[in-house]
C-alpha cells in the first residue's frame, strides 16, 4: 500500500517581503486616489441611477399609462418584460436541473 504524497507547490510570494509589505501590496488599490477612468465610469453609473429614479418617479406620478397600458390591443411593455424574465429564469432552472440529473460538475 503506497501513500499519496502531494508535491510541494511553488511559493505564493517570492522575495523577502515582510508581512507589512504584503499587507501594503494587498490594500494599495483601495487606498489610492481613484483614476480618471474610474471617476468617469462612476459618473456614467450615477447618471443611469438618476435616470432610473426619474423613471420610477415619473411612473408613480403619471401612472402606468406611461407604459402604454392605456391601449387594450397589445400586451404592453410590463407584461412582455415580465414574461421575458420569467422565461430566462425558467431556462436557467432547466439547465441546472439537466446538469444535476446527468451529475455534471
How much is the average pLDDT of 12-34? 88
Task: Read off the pTM.
Answer: 0.51
Question: How does residue 36 score in pLDDT terms, banded at 50, 70 and 90?
Answer: very high
How does pLDDT run across 47-82, given as a tens digit for each residue?
999 999 999 999 999 887 787 766 666 666 777 888
10 against 34, higher pLDDT: 34
Q: Is the alpha carbon torsion for 8, 26, 44, 46 positive or negative?
A: positive
More confident residue, 98 or 3: 98
Domain boundaries defined on the chain: 35-67, 72-105
Nearest to 13 by CA among 31, 5, 27, 25: 25
In order, the DSSP letters of 4-66 are --PPPPPPSS-SS--HHHHHHHHHHHHHSPPPHHHHHHHHHHHHHHHHHHHHHHHHHHH-GGG
Amino acid at each position: 500500500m503506497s501513500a499519496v504524497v502531494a508535491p510541494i507547490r511553488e511559493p505564493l510570494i517570492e522575495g523577502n517581503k515582510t508581512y507589512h509589505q504584503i499587507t501594503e501590496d494587498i490594500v494599495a488599490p483601495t487606498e489610492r486616489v481613484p483614476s480618471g477612468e474610474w471617476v468617469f465610469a462612476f459618473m456614467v453609473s450615477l447618471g443611469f441611477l438618476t435616470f432610473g429614479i426619474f423613471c420610477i418617479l415619473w411612473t408613480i406620478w403619471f401612472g402606468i399609462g406611461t407604459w402604454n397600458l392605456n391601449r387594450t390591443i397589445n400586451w404592453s411593455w410590463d407584461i412582455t418584460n415580465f414574461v421575458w424574465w420569467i422565461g430566462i429564469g425558467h431556462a436557467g432552472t432547466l439547465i441546472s436541473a439537466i446538469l444535476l440529473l446527468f451529475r455534471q460538475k
